[in-house]
Amino acid sequence: MAQYDFAVMEPNSIVQALDVAGYRLTRPRRAVAALIAEHDGHFTASELEAVARSRRLGISRATLFRALDLLTELQVVERLDLPSGEHAYVPCAAAHHHHVICSRCGRATEVEDCGVAEAVLEIGRRSGYRIESHRLELFGLCRHCQAKTTPHA
C-alpha cells in the first residue's frame, strides 16, 4: 500500500519543482515527471515517448519536448551529448556538477568537483580566455558493469 501512497505523499520532486516555479501541474507534466523519476540512468526524448505511447499516456510529442525543455531550464534534468551524438537527459540536482555515465548500462552518477574547477582556472590562465562555462562528461564502466565484464582474473 505504501507503494500507492507514494504518488500522493511525495508528489515527485520534479512536480514540486514545477509548482515552486509557478508552472501549472498538468496531467502531461505529471506523467513526464513520473516517467523521469523511474529512470536512474539517462534517457532520450524518444525513449520517453516510446514508454509513454506504450502505456497509452496520451502525451503528444510536442508536449514531451516542451516539458523536457522546461525541466532543463529548471535544472531538474540536464541535457547531455553522448559520444554517439545522441542527446540524452539525466535527472539531477541543480548545483553545478558533472556526470559519469556508464557506457554499458547508461547509469549516470553525479560527481562533485574533485579538482576540475582548479584545472579550469589554470586553462583560462594559460589560454587567455575568460572562461564562462564548461562541460565535463565522463564515460566508463560503473561498478556493477565492471563486475559483470571482469568476473575474475
Partner DNA sequence: ACGCTGATGCGACTCGTTCTCGACAAAGAA
Partner DNA sequence: TTCTTTGTCGAGAACGAGTCGCATCAGCGT
In the complex, which residues of this chain contact DNA (CB under 7 A)? 19, 23-29, 44-46, 58-63, 65-67, 69, 85, 87
- The binder of 120, among DNA, a copy of itself, none, by C-beta within 5 to 8 A per type, is a copy of itself
CB 39 within 8 A of CB 60: no
Applying CB under 8 A, does 79 fall inside the site for a copy of itself? yes
Q: Treating both helix axes as pointing N-terminal to C-terminal, what angle do 13-20 and 61-73 enclose, rounded to 10 degrees?
A: 80
Smallest gap from Cβ 148 to DNA, in A, equals 27
Cα dihedral 62, 64, 69, 75 in deg (nearest 10): 170
Compare residues 5 and 132 and give the one whose CB is closer to a copy of itself: 132
Which positions from 28 to 57 touch a copy of itself by CB under 8 A, shown as an x/- string?
------------------------------
- The binder of 69, among DNA, a copy of itself, none, by C-beta within 5 to 8 A per type, is DNA
How many angstroms separate the CA atoms of 97 and 110, rounded? 7
Cα dihedral 91, 75, 11, 24 in deg (nearest 10): -130
The residue written with cell numbers 555515465 in the block is: 101
Task: Using the Cα atoms of residue 3, residue 101, residue 112 and residue 80 in order, give the sign of their dihedral.
Answer: negative
Please give the residue ranges that form the binding site for a copy of itself (CB under 8 A). 79, 81, 83, 85, 87, 98, 100, 102-103, 109, 111, 113-116, 118-120, 122-124, 126-143, 146
